[in-house]
Amino acid sequence: MSSASDESFAWVTLVVDTRHKLHVMYTEGVSAEMRAQLDRVFDDHTEVNVLDSGDAENLALINRPDLGVTFTKLHCWLLTQYSKCVFLDADTFVVQNCDELFERPEFSAAPDVGWPDIFNTGVFVFVPSGQTYRNLLGFALSYGSFDGGDQGLLNSYFSGWRESDASHRLPFIYNVTTAAIYGYAAALKRFASKVKIIHFLGKQKPWMIHYGDSVGGLAFISDYHQQWFQFYTNAVQQNLPPSLAVTTTLPLSFSVQPLASFENRPIVSQLVDSSAGRAVVGGYDAWEAGLPDYLGADAFANIQKVIEKSLKGE
């Protein structure tokens, strides 16, 4: 199942050859046109009300005030018509079948790349229960969330996850976040053929990248962003009305290879000047995002050269 809280998050995940039913939750912020498109893909749907944590102070700590509405995903525990579910954030991209996740117990999730002792809530296995839903709301009212979002709440509620047996800890291949794509390219290259789910974590979503933009902003590009675009172009765009289409004013200058072949070549991870389609050396956005290329252009040796030139007045 997946959730979409507004129009930008309604670009849903591709689930490859699943034998299970697909259920989407969305809020009133999703238009009737988009709902019609979602209904074409999913077997069932539920409109839910937005639950906001109201915790602006904690959310400010992680610079993501928009995460307050992610409490809305707690509604998934009310889908009691199902015996077990796998939750997928709307910014995940399933690249291989992962039906085996239904063999996992509640609560199962992959470690968060930023703090591996806690789990990331973009992908998790759970058992719907009205009682669990009420317990979660009560827990939130009593203790809040240490990060202001659902991840802090769920990690506190399912606090025994780290000490649980291995069946509760999903391999990272089920929730490969963009931080890993940019920060640990060597491992991604090594395990690319095994990756099951990509999580476009943060504000840089593939459907928000515009080429040929007159503003000429910077955008991250990775092989998985490219694969998302290929899927969108081949399987989604043709079925959308013009008002919902993601447009690109500059033809994409890359070709997308099958995922399994990624392990046989260098991982693409660079900044692109979207107004001209050129790679940008330096990458201020990468530094601001906390994702400098320490093994490449941002290696200490290169930084030292720049400092020395500056000191010499060159």
> DSSP of 161-200, one letter per residue?
TTTS-GGGB--GGGSEEHHHHHH-HHHHHHHGGG--EEE-
Decide if 183 is inside a domain.
no
Which pair of structure tokens corresponds to residue 233? 């172009």
Question: What percentage of the chain carries pLDDT values higher than 70?
Answer: 63
List helix spans (H) across 14-103. Answer: 32-41, 56-61
Residue 168, pLDDT score: 98
Average per-residue pLDDT in the chain? 75
> Looking at the structure, do residues 136 and 42 belong to the same domain, yes or no?
yes
Whether the pLDDT of residue 187 is over 70: the answer is: yes
Least confident of 59-68, 82-91, 276-285: 276-285
Least confident of 36-45, 147-156, 211-220, 239-248: 211-220
Decide if 48 is inside a domain.
yes
> Looking at the structure, do residues 158 and 219 belong to the same domain, yes or no?
no
> Looking at the structure, do residues 227 and 146 belong to the same domain, yes or no?
no
Please give the model's pTM, rounded to 2 decimal places.
Answer: 0.72
Decide if 37 is inside a domain.
yes
| Higher pLDDT among residues 271 and 188, named by residue | 188
> Looking at the structure, do residues 13 and 149 belong to the same domain, yes or no?
yes
Residue that is last in its domain, among 157, 174, 191: 174
Q: Which helix (H) or strand (E) holds 140?
A: helix 130-143
Which pair of structure tokens corresponds to residue 311? 């000191």
Confidence of residue 312 (pLDDT cuts 50, 70, 90): low
Decide if 65 is inside a domain.
yes
> Looking at the structure, do residues 13 and 86 belong to the same domain, yes or no?
yes
Q: Which amino acid is at 137?
A: L
Mind listing the pLDDT tens digit for each residue in 29-64?
888 888 888 888 889 999 988 777 777 766 665 666
Whether the pLDDT of residue 283 is over 60: the answer is: no
Whether the pLDDT of residue 124 is over 70: the answer is: yes
Whether the pLDDT of residue 167 is over 90: the answer is: yes
> Looking at the structure, do residues 79 and 217 belong to the same domain, yes or no?
no
Residue 68, pLDDT score: 67
> Looking at the structure, do residues 111 and 212 belong to the same domain, yes or no?
no
| Higher pLDDT among residues 5 and 80, named by residue | 80
Burial 79-90 (b: 16+ CB within 10 A, else e): beeeeebbbbbb
> Looking at the structure, do residues 168 and 222 belong to the same domain, yes or no?
no
Whether the pLDDT of residue 281 is over 50: the answer is: no
Decide if 35 is inside a domain.
yes
> Looking at the structure, do residues 31 and 155 belong to the same domain, yes or no?
yes
Decide if 25 is inside a domain.
yes
Query: Cα(308)–Cα(57) distance, rounded to whole angstroms?
Result: 42
Half-sphere exposure of 307 (CA within 13 A, CB side): 7
Which pair of structure tokens corresponds to residue 242? 């013009």
Question: Residue range 187-201: average pLDDT?
Answer: 90
Q: Which amino acid is at 159?
A: S
CATH number at residue 163: 3.90.550.10
Decide if 211 is inside a domain.
yes
Residue 118, pLDDT score: 97
Range of the domain at 291: 205-311
Question: What percentage of the chain carries pLDDT values higher than 90?
Answer: 33
Residue 280, pLDDT score: 37
Q: How far is CA 72 from CA 27, 50, 53, in A?
A: 9, 5, 9
Tell whether omega for the bond before 172 is within 30 degrees of 0, i.e. cis: no
> Looking at the structure, do residues 130 and 249 belong to the same domain, yes or no?
no
Most confident listed range (23-27, 215-219, 293-297, 298-302): 23-27
Residue 253 sits at φ, ψ, to 5 deg, of -100, 20
Give the count of domains, the chain: 2
Query: Cα(314)–Cα(308) distance, rounded to whole angstroms?
Result: 9
Q: Which helix (H) or strand (E) holds 288?
A: helix 284-288
Which pair of structure tokens corresponds to residue 32? 């009737």
Residue 32, pLDDT score: 87
Decide if 187 is inside a domain.
no
- How is the beta sheet containing 92-94 ordered, strand by strand? 92-94, 197-199, 176-177
Whether the pLDDT of residue 14 is over 80: the answer is: no
> Looking at the structure, do residues 164 and 90 belong to the same domain, yes or no?
yes
- Judge contact between 137 and 53, C-beta under 8 A: no
- How is the beta sheet containing 269-273 ordered, strand by strand? 218-222, 269-273, 278-279
> Looking at the structure, do residues 19 and 143 belong to the same domain, yes or no?
yes
Confidence of residue 291 (pLDDT cuts 50, 70, 90): low
| Higher pLDDT among residues 202 and 256, named by residue | 202
Burial 282-307 (b: 16+ CB within 10 A, else e): ebeebeebebbbeeebbeeeeeeeee
Q: Compute, in degrees rounded to 10, the torsion defined by CA atoms 104, 109, 113, 115.
A: -130
Mind listing the pLDDT tens digit for each residue in 66-86?
666 767 889 999 999 999 999
